[in-house]
Amino acid sequence: MEDKDLMESELLTIKGVCDLYLHGALESTSQDVHTAFKDALNESLNIQNKLYNMMAEKGWYKTDNAEQNKVDTAKQKYMAQQ
């Protein structure tokens, strides 16, 4: 398996972990449990960010710039809802 494939797999895994920790924090019934999930989420987000940056540096994670008209439309929609 290539390094790129391994990193993509790891990135997908950590994104899933973040989702689980987020829901754990949201649904927790005690402060201790909430804090544990929140701390685990923050650490997982840090790992995700490092993986993303490493992949982006190697050109393995490409992103497209948003079209300005779509950004403006989204802003207007959000502002109208407030």
Domain locations in the chain as residue ranges: 3-81
Distance CA 45, CA 49 (A): 6
- For 14-42, what is each residue's pLDDT tens digit? 999 999 999 999 999 999 999 999 999 99
pTM for the full predicted model:
0.75
Mean pLDDT of 5-12: 95
End-to-end alpha-carbon separation of the chain, Å? Answer: 49
Specify the pLDDT at position 62.
82
Contact criterion met (CB below 8 Å) for 34 and 25: yes
Tokens coding 36: 């544990």
Specify the pLDDT at position 64.
83
Specify the pLDDT at position 51.
96
Q: What is the mean pLDDT of the chain?
A: 94
What Rg, from alpha-carbon coordinates, does the chain have?
17
